[in-house]
Structure 1
Amino acid sequence: MRSAHSEHPELDRKLRRRGFLGVAAGATAAALLSPGTATAAPGPATGQAHGHRPIVPRGKLGIQLYTVRDQIQKLGFAPVFRALERYGYDSVEFAGYTQGTGEITLRGLKRLMRDHGLRGIGSHVGYWSTDPAAYTFATQLEKVVDDAAALGLPHVGTAASPDRYGRTVDAWKRAAEDFNTYGAAARARGLKFYQHNHQMEFGFAEDKPHIRLYDVLLAETDPELVHLEMDIYWAYAGQHRFSVRPDGTPAPFDPLDYVLA
């Protein structure tokens, strides 16, 4: 298979050390939790329904809670966690610890997970904000990692693009330095820091349009400190959108190459 990085051998050497976080697969939970499907009868701990062979192995069915944010905001964490347990989910990834529900303590969330047989595997937290009081890695780093540790999460990361300083090569190198700092703070608490991509990470640097920005991120972050959680959908959206450089020359890539490199 053609390497996604073969045009940039200096980046390729660094990227070969890179590992990606394992994927926690999930069914269409928003549909499962809707009133119209509340009486469905899934198989135990697999998401299996109507006698079909399960797609996800037992113990591997997880969900990013942003997917069910509307249900959490309307009903609260407890009813949603109860439904997730019923449908065989065993792990959750947080996207905020209140999600519009009002006050809930980390201890309360941890108890709810335990009561419903769920384990927290990670959390998406903002990267930065112009508000110094905002709950982001850049503004409240110690609290972010402390909260994740208090919840017993093995991972804490961000789904924000590394665009804080712009979309040039040097801007993304600077963002990579931030991520290395956050990774070191997370590791000091026994956690792993990670970045979750969307499509824009696969675009090209504004100052050097022959270089894909995702390659800069992977090459400039320390693989011992910064891990990558590839969003399969958005990676392939990026493949579709950024298969041609700004000058019109072809630049095809396969997201799978990043995982296998």
Structure 2
Amino acid sequence: MSRKNTPVDPELDRKLSRRGMLGVAAGASVAALLGTAAPATAAVPTAAVPTAAALGKGRGTPVLPPGRLGVQLYSLRDKVSSLGFAKVFAELRRYGYDEVEYAGYTQGSVGAITLAQLRQLTRDHGLRGIGSHVNYYDDNNPGAYSFAQNLDKVLDDAQALGLKHIGTASGPWRYGATVDGWKRCAEDFNHYGAEARKRGMKFYQHNHAEEFSFATDKPKVRLYDILLAETDPDLVFLEMDIYWAYAAQFRFGKRIDGTPAPFDPLRYVLKQPDRYPLFHVKDGEHDETARDGYRMVDVGDGDIDYKRFISAVSKTRGGRRDHHWQVEHDNPVESFAFARKSSAHLHSLREKDC
């Protein structure tokens, strides 16, 4: 990668590189493998898993909209690579999931799978493919599987999977961290959004913490605000990663000169709820000694108030119909246990009936 293709934060760069490994893997026959597979891991015993019918019972109105719970499959990449999509999907459905967000279309040592087969497997297990993460660009590789290098192929594959959303977890750093650099990225995103719209899909961008930092040439201007202002709201949508937005509160709540610049991630959504069809639900335990102000944990084990967040978004116009909640953990200790616990926690969140 060239230096200009590197996110501001080196640790984030490594994280995006791992995610990019999955996104680049898609191809015409989708026969490429992810590499050395992780050792096969036994599924969580059935007795330890709450059934879909049992989830959501209790007093009060459920906060989580019915049929809108998904999981970003990057969190289960070890299981996909060693067990395959079919076994992973079977577990997810037992845990009460409705949707999946892809992070690549291959299944490691299990063998090749076509897009048609992947789409059918998803449906056969009662799940919906809601979106997919693909790299924004790789300027060192003209043939890369990315929006910038291979837009038609990316959209062809998303259409073959029947996706309503197709997006990127890459930050808008292609042209640097200046105001004009982000305006140029916004032009790219508007183009991708227009092409996706022609196929009945929505293009979206997923944030990390650094999107909420400040422009290098105008240190009072928050970069995320440029992205919102310069992209067409009818063409470019956002997937808010709530954990990273809260980490950004901690890291970028002050400008470079030290003056306060607080913000509330929820307020961004409530101002433009139609621009946020997708959310990443990952949790963190507050720790001011950590770089991000949080240590990532399984959903329900941390301090982020998801009852408040999901409830507020769900009360916006069309909120219970138009928003989708994808749980995620970048590196869970045990990925099936993470998925099971996260579903159980989110289904348990309820508001008192009046």
Provide the TM-score with structure 2 as the length reference: 0.61
Does 1:162 find its partner at 2:172? Answer: yes
Matches within 5 A, 1:107-146: 107-129=116-138, 130-146=140-156
Report deviation, 1:99.
5.2
Q: Which amino acid letter does the alignment assign opposite residue 227 of structure 2?
A: L
Matches within 5 A, 1:124-203: 124-129=133-138, 130-203=140-213
> How many residues of Structure 1 are paired with residues of Structure 2 in the alignment?
227
Structure 2 residue aligned with 1:39: 47
**Secondary structure in 1 aligned to 2:149?**
coil
Does 1:72 find its partner at 2:80? Answer: yes
Query: How big is each residue's C-alpha offset from its partner over 1:45-66, in whole Å with a ceiling of 9 and x where there is no partner?
Result: 5745xx7666634312211111
Is the contact between residue 82 and residue 107 of structure 2 (CA under 8 Å) also seen in structure 1? no
Structure 1 residue aligned with 2:239: 229
Matches within 5 A, 1:201-240: 201-240=211-250
Is the contact between residue 51 and residue 94 of structure 2 (CA under 8 Å) also seen in structure 1? no
2-structure distance, mates of 1:46, 1:165: 50
Q: More relative contact order in 1 or in 2 (CA 8 Å, sep 6+)?
A: 2
Query: How big is each residue's C-alpha offset from its partner over 1:104-152, in whole Å with a ceiling of 9 and x where there is no partner?
Result: 1100101101110111111111000121221100011001111111111
What is the root-mean-square deviation in Å for CA atoms of aligned residues? 1.9
Does 1:104 find its partner at 2:136? Answer: no
Q: Which amino acid letter does the alignment assign opposite residue 103 of structure 1?
A: A
1-structure distance, mates of 2:137, 2:77: 22
Report deviation, 1:36.
5.2
**Secondary structure in 1 aligned to 2:155?**
helix
Query: How big is each residue's C-alpha offset from its partner over 1:32-51, in whole Å with a ceiling of 9 and x where there is no partner?
Result: x9745553131325745xx7
1-structure distance, mates of 2:55, 2:247: 26
Provide the TM-score with structure 1 as the length reference: 0.82
Q: Which amino acid letter does the alignment assign opposite residue 104 of structure 2?
A: G
Q: Which amino acid letter does the alignment assign opposite residue 78 of structure 1?
A: A
1-structure distance, mates of 2:150, 2:120: 25
Of residues 239, 252, 268, the one that matches 1:242 is 252
**Secondary structure in 2 aligned to 1:140?**
helix
Cα gap change, 1:183 to 1:82, in 2 (>3 Å): same
Of residues 75, 88, 92, the one that matches 2:96 is 88
Identity between Structure 1 and Structure 2 (%): 65
Is the contact between residue 90 and residue 119 of structure 1 (CA under 8 Å) also seen in structure 2? yes
**Secondary structure in 1 aligned to 2:48?**
coil
Query: How big is each residue's C-alpha offset from its partner over 1:47-94, in whole Å with a ceiling of 9 and x where there is no partner?
Result: 45xx76666343122111111111111111110011111111111111
Is the contact between residue 130 and residue 163 of structure 2 (CA under 8 Å) also seen in structure 1? yes
Is the contact between residue 89 and residue 125 of structure 2 (CA under 8 Å) also seen in structure 1? yes
1-structure distance, mates of 2:42, 2:247: 27
1-structure distance, mates of 2:259, 2:75: 37
**Secondary structure in 1 aligned to 2:82?**
helix
Structure 2 residue aligned with 1:17: none
Structure 1 residue aligned with 2:67: 59
Is the contact between residue 131 and residue 164 of structure 2 (CA under 8 Å) also seen in structure 1? yes
Is the contact between residue 166 and residue 202 of structure 2 (CA under 8 Å) also seen in structure 1? yes
Query: How big is each residue's C-alpha offset from its partner over 1:185-214, in whole Å with a ceiling of 9 and x where there is no partner?
Result: 101111100001110000000010000000
Cα gap change, 1:45 to 1:34, in 2 (>3 Å): farther
Q: Which amino acid letter does the alignment assign opposite residue 190 of structure 1?
A: G
Cα gap change, 1:126 to 1:254, in 2 (>3 Å): same
Is the contact between residue 193 and residue 227 of structure 1 (CA under 8 Å) also seen in structure 2? yes
Gaps of 5+ in 1: 1-32
Name which of structure 1's ranges 94-103 and 181-190 shifts more when overlaid on structure 2: 94-103
Q: Which amino acid letter does the alignment assign opposite residue 220 of structure 2?
A: H
